[in-house]
Amino acid sequence: MTRLRRVAVVAAPPVSMFNLAIPEMLFGKVEIDGRPGYETVICTPDPGPVATTGGLDLHVPHSLDAVDAADTVVLAGSGSYTDPDPRILDVLRRAAADGKRIASICTGSFALAAAGLLDGRGATTYWAYRELLAERHPAVDLQDDVLFVQDGPLLTSSGYAAGIDLCLHVIRTDHGAAVANTVARLALVAPVRPGGQTQFTQTPLPPERGVSFARTRAWAMEHLDEPLTLTDLARHAGVSVRTLSRRFLAETGLSPLQWLLHQRIERAKELLETTTLPMDRLAHESGLGSADSLRRHLLRRTGLTPTAYRASFSRLAEAGAGVDVDRLAPARAAGER
């Protein structure tokens, strides 16, 4: 039986309510064999009313002692990021010494840096505060314009919504791509996006005529095993190839073909985890064409060959049997942010 993983979310006042909601929403949707996959506890230095950046008070009954029982610590963004509470810094250092996984959302990275945990490590933060973080903590290897960075047991995300990508990445690491994609579907957010995807540092264009390409993306997810082209996608969306490319990039941060490749690799990872399909068949089902192509793309994305990835992340031992690929629902209809 998969053990329950414990997550402590640290709320430093004035805390972002959205930051607090992200871990609870996503980790709370994980079920393994009908049981919760995570227990999420929100904690704070002074239990009781906690101020938020929105002007409201939240009642948080748990102290920072909750961190001691946690496997993963998530530091939510706060309006006090330039002056982190020394008690939070102490508990972060203790958690790091205990080997716990520690993550931050948005400006939470400032506390990790102030605790000395990011010195010499790759990290990121919200683009608007990047220069300030670099100025205050020059020992941090700051990664520009990415959604999130993992350096060993430490993870940092950029803006608010990138915290969703970070949490889905944690879920995928713990439970595999199939579980992470299910959570994304339930939460009506995008499937797992790579951490290196570019942040939106400019305002995306509004959907033309009030229509986005969400339906076309959902359709493409149902046809990943087919040789889809830009013309196919544009025809389904009812626009020109040029308009498709421009609008798709504005909506997803990726070109249509980059997005397709990412979804196909995610599909291949899910099949490696949940089936015993031979590599040629698996490559065909995921739209990557051949076993050689599957190997090349997976190596580039994960650093592992398909055989090594299956050996490391297969869920068949937990499930007790393989999954019939013909019964898998290939559609990943969650809309992009």
pLDDT at 54: 86
Give the model confidence (pLDDT) of 115-153 as tens digits.
999 999 999 998 889 999 999 999 999 987 778 999 999
pLDDT at 273: 85
What backbone phi and psi angles, to 5 degrees, belong to 295?
-65, -45
- Residue 120, sorted as left (phi over 0), alpha (psi -120 to 50) or beta, turns out to be left
Distance between CA 10 and CA 92 in Å, rounded? Answer: 10
The neighbour count for residue 54, using CB atoms within 10 Å, is 12
Question: What are the angstrom distances between the C-alpha of 113 and each of 58, 125, 127?
Answer: 26, 11, 16
pLDDT at 274: 86
DSSP string, 181-240: HHHHHHHT-PPP--TTSPP--SPPPPPGGG--SHHHHHHHHTTTTS---HHHHHHHHTS-
pLDDT at 87: 97
pLDDT at 147: 85
**Helix/strand/coil percentages in the chain, nearest 5:** 45, 15, 40
- The vertex-195 CA angle with 189 and 201, nearest 5°, equals 80
Q: Residue for token digits 């540092």?
A: 201
Which residues are CB-contacts of 48 (< 8 A; sequence separation ≥ 6)?
59, 60, 61
> Is 25 a residue whose pLDDT tops 70?
yes
pLDDT at 324: 39
Distance between CA 70 and CA 72 in Å, rounded? Answer: 5
Side-chain-facing half-sphere of 126: CA atoms under 13 Å: 17
pLDDT at 192: 54
Q: Where are the beta strands (DSSP E) in 24-160?
A: 31-32, 35-36, 38-43, 48-51, 57-60, 72-75, 101-104, 122-123, 141-142, 148-151, 154-157
pLDDT at 282: 95
What backbone phi and psi angles, to 5 degrees, belong to 40?
-110, 125
**Tokens (6 digits) for 310:** 């299956």
**Tokens (6 digits) for 216:** 């076309």
pLDDT at 198: 41
**Tokens (6 digits) for 181:** 């994609």
**Tokens (6 digits) for 152:** 């060993």
pLDDT at 201: 34
Comparison of pLDDT for 322 and 10, the residue scoring more: 10
Query: Measuring CA to CA, which residue among 97, 113, 70, 80 is closest to residue 11?
Result: 80
